[in-house]
Structure 1
């Protein structure tokens, strides 16, 4: 039996935690008794989106591209709740387009958010997590991090980088008692997935590749995050956990 009772009163920071998959992870953590600081770059609708979670989820504005902003985010979380136990580096960005027409600006924006942002979150979290007896880092990749897709050079490349970064950091932080794992969702009915599903022509090409014959739910990814964050996942380290319904390519 999976026991997640150990999560009660732990403190988590979730970037990109006010909408889409990040919000689902925030909600799942709160349901387990975790106190969550949900961060996002923009403030519009953020606090309202967390309103149904009571005082166990609070919003903090942060830009993962800026190391000082991330440093402040971790400090605020620790000051408010007395420490940090779990960090979920979820904030991400996509700028699709073929390489021949992809601007360097768009390429850089994706790299800065998806790779540099994860780096800042992980690096700045170490001083807090090493003080915890329950240090957990969860990064977010994508099925496209290991599966090349036309028009997704920036996104695929950055998610592949996140997966290798996760494995390296897992080796380095293990002596500190911190586990580092990566969630790799497939086609999920949240955010960009919702838009994809509405495009019948494009979705018709991808749907047959999923053995379960459906998109995943945000809650199913969030459940995997809860597993990795809990004692049930304490012996999982440096792993890329695919949550994709049996996706073939």
Structure 2
């Protein structure tokens, strides 16, 4: 399917590896120009070498409010406009609620949630100029139900709510805001690969019990949904957060 994304200007946060990298690759394959911001310079260099001139990379700490503002200005100046924003950057920390210091909850919110709010507000200002645009927020099935680390889950839950709130606010300006909630996704740089390597018997039992599809998802399967939601083919999808999980989620809404 031609998603009509050729020459669209796309910004992906945390796009140097894993799901983020697959999202970048999906947009590049559609002919888009993609700006990628991430923390690790080595990963960004490898990405640039692999994908070439349609990708521009920026090394930045996305948990830092000043660095976020600075990199956004650079991207808009270089690209001249912004058509699509993918808020993908994220990470988990801590353990159970009672053993996790409050500062770790704050750090998780800054990286996973406040970065998305900040970039979305900046992007909306640019997209209003053209009366069109798309914002996709990458959350998690555990933003809707228990599972995983509480710091991460709390931030992703906030992101799902924020997605709907912003979507209803800006659709009148031609800007669509949606989300994608992945389940257990296997990729070389992810935690699931690490766990599988450490204890394959335990993880294979988890897959059999918890994922009705009987396997892990792939980063490419998430990226395909993201690209679709960013395209005009998804013109009547507004404020939704779509599970991409092989049936793993126990939620029925």
TM-score by length of 1: 0.93
- Separation in structure 1 between the aligned mates of residue 13 and residue 33 of structure 2, nearest angstrom: 14
Maintained 8 Å contact 2:181/2:243: yes
Count of residues in Structure 1 that have an aligned counterpart in Structure 2: 246
Aligned to 1:125: 123
Matched, 1:27 2:25: yes
Maintained 8 Å contact 2:2/2:30: no
1:134/1:3 Cα in 2 relative to 1: closer, same or farther (>3 Å)? farther
Aligned to 1:244: 245
Q: Which moved more, 1:37-46 or 1:18-27?
A: 37-46
1:26/1:63 Cα in 2 relative to 1: closer, same or farther (>3 Å)? same
1:137/1:231 Cα in 2 relative to 1: closer, same or farther (>3 Å)? same
Q: Extract unaligned runs of 5+ from structure 2.
A: none
Q: Extract unaligned runs of 5+ from structure 1.
A: none
Aligned to 1:53: 51
Q: Which moved more, 1:38-47 or 1:239-248?
A: 38-47
How far is 1:192 from its partner?
2.3
> What does 1:1-249 align with in structure 2 at a 5 Å threshold?
2-4=1-3, 6-149=4-147, 152-190=149-187, 191-198=190-197, 199-200=199-200, 201-202=202-203, 204-249=205-250
- Separation in structure 2 between the aligned mates of residue 3 and residue 158 of structure 1, nearest angstrom: 34
TM-score by length of 2: 0.91
- Separation in structure 2 between the aligned mates of residue 152 and residue 58 of structure 1, nearest angstrom: 33
Maintained 8 Å contact 1:122/1:137: yes
Q: State the SS of the aligned residue for 2:181.
A: strand
